[in-house]
Amino acid sequence: MSRTSDLNNFKSALGGIRFHDGQKHLEARSHDYFWYSPILNDQLTDKLGELLVVPQSVEEVIKVAGLIAKYKLPLTLRGGGTGNYGQCVPMEGGVIMDLTRLDKVLEITQGHVRTQAGARISRLDDAAHETGQELLMYPSTRQMATIGGFLAGGSGGIGSLRHGMLRDPGNVSYVKVITVEKEPQVIELHGDDIQKVQHAYGTNGIVVEMGLALTPKTDWIHTAALFDGYDRALNFATLAQKGGMDCYLLTAVERRFAPYYTKFGDLFPADRDAIFAMVAPDEMDRFTAEAEAQGGHVSFAMTKEKVREAGLQPAYECGWNHTTLQALKVDPGWTYLQVAYPRPFDVDLVMRQMARHGDEMFWHHEMARQDGDIQIFALPLVRYRGKEEMYRLIAELEQTDGCTIFDPHVVTIEDGGMKEIDTTQIDFKKRADPYGLMNPGKTRGWTDDMARRDDQHRQGETA
């Protein structure tokens, strides 16, 4: 049967489940922030889904999953659509499933929250605040992103300085996954098994529910310290981190970004390098004293409410990939890279990189933790000079400087962050997406010959 008749049959079988097939809806839900990359922009601009479904409950998700398997349609899941690598772009058209109506925060107890996967992270964190707790971390897209999208597409962010990356043990307690089969199964994963779907780009099961650890809430002070020299700013941030200063965010942004941080004016002037931070109130005196000891000074320090009243952005929108966004709004000639530094972090290496690349790269660094150790990342702006030059630069940063690049100019899991095929995720895909319908084109680990044929039975089933 043709795709059109399969889609029509699928549509008719949806019953009352909400769907849209108008061009406007499809265009709005087929893209994410891949346009940060001119390479992906060329590759993905024309990709479009053919039908958008918006289930309102887990039961509706299960029904859609069963119909997808019945009619063998490509299925792309979508949360807030804030991914950077075309993660939720439907490469082969088909059905887009918007999960944002699965947004119930189910239960908050001491140190833990159970939530549906489509809940916006801001709503989830606000709900935790009402119980005197907060999330361990969130991406700088806190406002728009969903928690399921963070699990399946993100890695860490604000809070990672204190609590590590999302994948570090204990941060996620369980996930509930729906399989894409004619009779969809509900699978619950705990502990290490959660890695089977973490950062799998929604290629191996629909996450409908998850549990996350919470920590007691802190009324973080949003602040910036200014330094005459990026090395001084980085030295301050690394000393603060090593000294265990209680911060939720320490972001180093060099002075050439100042014209892009238009709201900040003299609070981030063009002749100073900045550390944007979220600092515990009782650590603010220490933050100020240590900044002064490095020749810096604090340019502002406010609660989040005061930041909003002053018309500024909260500090978490001054770091991670919001830094790139600020720059791209003003100068679309930039693109970016994601860099992990070798441990221990060497400020001199950054200064050599800055000298070597001059006006071709502007620098911004994130203090974080991974596997219990300090890990520094950078998301530098890169002046786009074509694909060949981009890959020459990546090779130089890896081979000369010993950095690891998480390539944001590719669509597959393996070519981006993971570097290699995760066979555990592929094995789980054989179980959760046996027909290979989910987010096609996003994993090199899946090949057509792995797909279950209709005349095959699930492992363990008798004829």
Ligand X SMILES: Cc1cc2nc3c(=O)[nH]c(=O)nc-3n(C[C@H](O)[C@H](O)[C@H](O)COP(=O)(O)OP(=O)(O)OC[C@H]3O[C@@H](n4cnc5c(N)ncnc54)[C@H](O)[C@@H]3O)c2cc1C
Residues near ligand X (CB under 6 A):
32-33, 76-84, 87-88, 99, 117, 139-141, 145-146, 148-150, 152-157, 201-202, 206-207, 320-322, 325, 439
Closer residue to ligand X (CB): 82 or 241? 82
- Report, in Å, the least distance between residue 282 CB and ligand X: 26
Token match 């043709």: residue?
2
222 contacts 264 by C-beta, under 8 angstroms: no
Give me the least distance between CB of 170 and ligand X, in Å please. Answer: 18
CB of 292 to ligand X, least distance (A): 29
Q: Which of 351, 367, 348 is nearest to 243 (CA)?
A: 367
Residues 291 and 355 sit within 8 Å (Cβ to Cβ): no
Closer CB to ligand X, 79 or 184, in the complex: 79
Secondary structure element (H or E) that encloses residue 353, with its range: helix 347-357
CB of 285 to ligand X, least distance (A): 28
Residue 146 dihedral angles phi and psi, to the nearest 5°: -100, 160
> Would you say the C-alpha torsion 336, 342, 344, 347 has a positive or negative sign?
negative
Question: Is residue 416 a contact partner of residue 85, using CB atoms and an 8 Å limit?
Answer: yes
The neighbour count for residue 43, using CB atoms within 10 Å, is 17
* Structure tokens given for 15: 């019953």
- Judged by CB, which is closer to ligand X: 281, or 332? 332
Q: Taking the complex as a whole, how short is the minimal distance between the CB of residue 36 and ligand X, in angstroms? A: 7
State the nearest-atom distance from the C-beta of 260 to ligand X, in Å.
13
Q: Which is nearer to ligand X, 69 or 298 (CB)?
A: 69
Q: Which is nearer to ligand X, 57 or 235 (CB)?
A: 57
Length of the chain: 463
Question: Whose Cβ is closer to ligand X: residue 79's or residue 296's?
Answer: 79
CB within 8 Å of 190: residues ≥ 6 apart: 173, 174
Any alpha helices (H) in 45-89, and if so which ranges?
A: 58-71
Least distance CB 88 / ligand X (angstroms): 4
* Cβ proximity to ligand X, 82 vs 412, nearer residue: 82
CB of 80 to ligand X, least distance (A): 3
* CB-nearest residue to ligand X: 149
Alpha-carbon distance of 227 to 254, in angstroms, equals 9
DSSP state string for 368-406: EEETTEEEEEE--EEE---HHHHHHHHHHHHHTT--EE-
Closest CB to ligand X among 208 and 240? 208
Closest residue by Cα to residue 405 from 353, 330, 442, 331? 353
Q: Which is nearer to ligand X, 300 or 320 (CB)?
A: 320
444: exposed, middle or buried (Cβ count in 10 Å: 0-12, 13-18, 19+): middle
Secondary structure (3-state) at 129: helix
Residue 318 near residue 257 (C-beta atoms within 8 A): no
CA dist 119 → 79, 113, 148, 252 (Å): 9, 12, 8, 30
CB nearer to ligand X: pick between 151 and 221: 151
> Who's near 450: CB < 8 A, 6+ residues apart?
426, 429, 430, 436
Question: C-beta of 148: minimal distance to ligand X in Å?
Answer: 3
CB 363 within 8 A of CB 254: yes
For the bound state, the minimum distance from the C-beta of residue 242 to ligand X, rounded and expressed in Å, comes to 22
Closer to ligand X by CB, 76 or 179: give it. 76
The nearest distance, CB 33 to ligand X, in angstroms, is: 4
